Amino acid sequence: MTILKEGIVVRRVRVAKDYGLLKLVYKQFGFWLVNVYMTPGSKAQIQKLFRAIDRFIPKEELKTLFITGDFNVDLEKSSDELDLLCNLAKELGLSIFKPDRCTRLNATLDYSIAYKSLDLQIAVNESDLSDHRVIVTTIPIRKFRRPPNLRVVNKKLAVKATESALSKSNNAKKFLDNIHQFRRRNKKQVNIILNRRQVTRKLFLALVKDQEDDTRTVLNRYWKDLIGENENLRYSVDSREAFRFLGRVFKYNQFEKRDGAIANSVQVEGRIVDEENEVNRLIMDSLRRTQLDPRFPCYSGLLPFPNLGIPSEEELEFLLNRLWPGKAITGDCISDDIFSKDKADVVKNILRDL
């Protein structure tokens, strides 16, 4: 395969041996472009290819991966090699894009593998230079952005800032001023970058091991072990995680929960209505009757922000009793520790002019 763009020619990039060239291509094109030639298209070669991909290409950039070439694994005929190729691609979120016709006699040995949402178009041309037909792949040019780093408030620093401000303040304004000054003095430490979540692909690792087991045997063993572990989890203190797994993998909940379900029919005066627009109208009318209380006026347009009086001690105590720690910390750097019961008296005293 030859790739041309702005005078650049790249030929036969291999994942492991030509990694430096592969990285250069990524910088030029915004894609990881991998050309494959396998003979005889064995399981060991397929495993070696995907091990190299997993090793060299960052997981968050797999959306930009494009593999093409002669795999010598026939898409027209069932085989253990094809099962392995399909399952390894699936584990990385990739799909096999099949040409519109066979590429060698009645076999399809040449094709592309790329991220499943890419709309690749593969045409097949006749050639006198090879016993294979030529595949021509059209790749839609998109601007892929590396996922940004996740920045969150440093909880330890927020706790320190809150405790320091509480000890130095005698009213709400002073408390907020102290927090603001603390943030200014420590602005470089206020936020920390979270480590990216590491995905452990247990099935992928099982499939790329150097072993001669039948691919379907590996798959069956993996799911049997996984479901067995989950069954044990169901009867433990971690049962919530077990049911979350069942809902995610099998797309149903054994407790038949119906919250958030889509209603496709309603009963009105003993009559079943199943026409979509009528069902939607009846549901909306019912929601309006439920949500609007005749005891309260309906407002239209903008309303001025109410001029609230200073809260009484009883109101502050009522408010603080309804708030609990364990919440996410926002950018103001005020820790949720102010809601803890042991600080209630101090906080109530400071926030009395809120």
> What is the β-pairing status of strands 110-115 and 191-193?
unpaired
pLDDT for res 82: 94
pLDDT means per 10 residues, the chain with 354 residues, are 38 54 64 84 90 85 87 93 93 92 93 85 86 86 71 89 91 92 90 79 85 84 89 84 82 53 77 86 82 72 83 85 80 85 86 79
289/267 Cα distance (integer angstroms): 17
pLDDT for res 25: 62
pLDDT for res 266: 85
Q: What sign results for the dihedral spanned by CA atoms 322, 326, 327, 331? A: positive
pLDDT for res 27: 61
DSSP output for 285-321: HHHHHHH--TTS----S--PPP-PPPPPHHHHHHHHH
pLDDT for res 4: 38
Closest CA to 29 of 54, 58, 52, 61: 61
98/112 Cα distance (integer angstroms): 7
SS3 39: coil
Kindly list the structural domains of the chain, giving each domain's residue range(s) and its CATH number in brackets, ordered by start. Answer: 2-138 (3.60.10.10), 148-198+310-354 (no CATH), 202-250 (no CATH), 265-292 (no CATH)
Q: What sign results for the dihedral spanned by CA atoms 129, 132, 138, 139? A: negative
pLDDT for res 10: 39
pTM of this structure = 0.61
110/102 Cα distance (integer angstroms): 8
